[in-house]
Amino acid sequence: MDFAAITIFPEMFAAISQFGVSARAFNLGKASLHTINPRQFATNHYQTIDDRPFGGGPGMVMMYEPLQKAIFAAKKRLNKPAKVIYLSPQGKPLTQKRVKEFACEDALILLCGRYEGIDERLIERHVDEEVSVGDYVLSGGELPAMTLIDSIVRLLPGVLNDQNSAVEDSFYDGLLDCPHYTRPATHIEAGDVPVVLLSGDHQNIQQWRHQEKLKRTFLRRKELIECLCLSNEDKQYIAQLAQQKKQQIVIENAQLGEKKNEK
């Protein structure tokens, strides 16, 4: 899979091109990354790519023409069909489901905005999709673009040492991941590893892990559970968790009431 990042800070992308799993993807030839600086398409000596917004207001807006030419240059360099993705807090939230869909593309052009954003006319005419990595604002689109690249390349065959690692990640099946443990099995401060993980019974281990995933998702991200098609067994387990949670709340409220009475 091929990526082209349009950015005024191409040096930032060394973080994924030279380190970690994403670097392995590039080194193995599973993916390629090109960076294109829109300043090279500026029309003045100062390489200006931004200007004041019409209508007034704070900040600057990235100009249409340098970005348009950068997109054309990216498409020419990739020489294959490529979606143009603008990393923006106004875009659709990035989910694991969307990551898997992106991983099926041949190429992506990632447009990294800065300042107050980019000229809306460029979005209307040249951007295929806006993507957000969260409901917060960053100084630019470079970190979200790297987040997107890293989330995609780890799904490409042969990138991870064990491809099952991706399958068992959080969100892959709609659930958060289960807890993980390693040696030593017993620690004087941390305690013991769950016995089931030391049993060697892989069926019981898988069942325990699945239930832990259900439990974590129910307790931490209940809204994710509501979007899944669960088996009857899973529904019964969730109902037990819900009952236990209610009982815990009753106990905590009773303890709080006792403390107030003591005062």
Catalytic residue list: 89, 116, 154, 169
Whole-number Å distance between alpha carbons of 17 and 35: 11
Whole-number Å distance between alpha carbons of 252 and 245: 10
For residue 118, give the nearest of 73, 77, 68 by alpha carbon.
68
Q: Confirm if 129 and 86 have CB atoms less than 8 A apart.
A: yes
Whole-number Å distance between alpha carbons of 208 and 6: 45
132's CB contacts (< 8 A; 6+ apart) are: 87, 88, 89, 90, 91, 92, 93, 94, 144
DSSP secondary structure letters along 39-61:
GGG-SSTT---EEPPTT--SS-E
